[in-house]
Amino acid sequence: MSSANSTVLVIDDDPHVLASIGRLLRSVGVNAQLFGSIPEFLSSDPPDGPACLVLDVRLPGQSGLDLQRELAEANNEIPIIFVTGHGDIPMTVQAMKRGAIEFLTKPVRDQELLDAIQTGLSRDRARRESERELAVLKERFESLSPREREIVILVAHGRLSKQIAFDIGIAEATVKVHRSKAMQKMQAGSLLELGRIAARLKLLPNVASRAS
């Protein structure tokens, strides 16, 4: 499980629990940041690499469920693993509906916690990779000329070259030249792939609305 660039953030007001989880994570080569309260966590700098949050439900002041809701409202998608000594079914359902990885009851078995953490780190790693890929696609699209962007959007809408030529008042051969250059810049190997890229970039409102 060792991953030098991954970080597990742990929030628990019990110092013995914090120390125990910290030792466990260090024993498998995972970086750990330990916090005794939510304010302490919120005042810290977020990790640069993949991360997940091991969060006690019952904390002084703000609860773990409150923090989960606050993070979601801030579009912070860090995976959360809840641990509690006083869990109940409604609390578990609420946490899982909001996307928690797992809801574990204290005392937590080491392997059970490590398995949940591995899932959380893998999910965050995949999310970060997807965001990097999307940023690259946006950069490529921005490199297109205004005419190439226009043609990419029309192609993605299913318009044929002759239809695009008529739509924007240029020769069909010119449309094909622009389309070819745009596909090269976007690194799209086919019109189908170009359409998928356009959907990821939300260039097609109808596609974006169906996805949501």
Tens of pLDDT, residue by residue over 127-155, are 999 999 999 999 999 999 999 999 999 99
Q: What pLDDT score does 93 carry?
A: 74
For residues 63-91, average pLDDT: 87
pLDDT at 2 over 70: no
For residues 167-192, average pLDDT: 94
For residues 187-212, average pLDDT: 76
34 CB-near residues (< 8 Å, 6+ apart): 10, 18, 19, 21, 22
211 CB-near residues (< 8 Å, 6+ apart): 199
How long, in residues, is the chain? 212
Higher pLDDT, 99 or 192: 192
Tokens standing for residue 19: 């120390």
Which of the four pLDDT bands, split at 50, 70 and 90, describes residue 4? low
pLDDT at 10 over 50: yes
Q: Are 156 and 200 in contact (CB under 8 A)?
A: no
Which of the four pLDDT bands, split at 50, 70 and 90, describes residue 91? confident
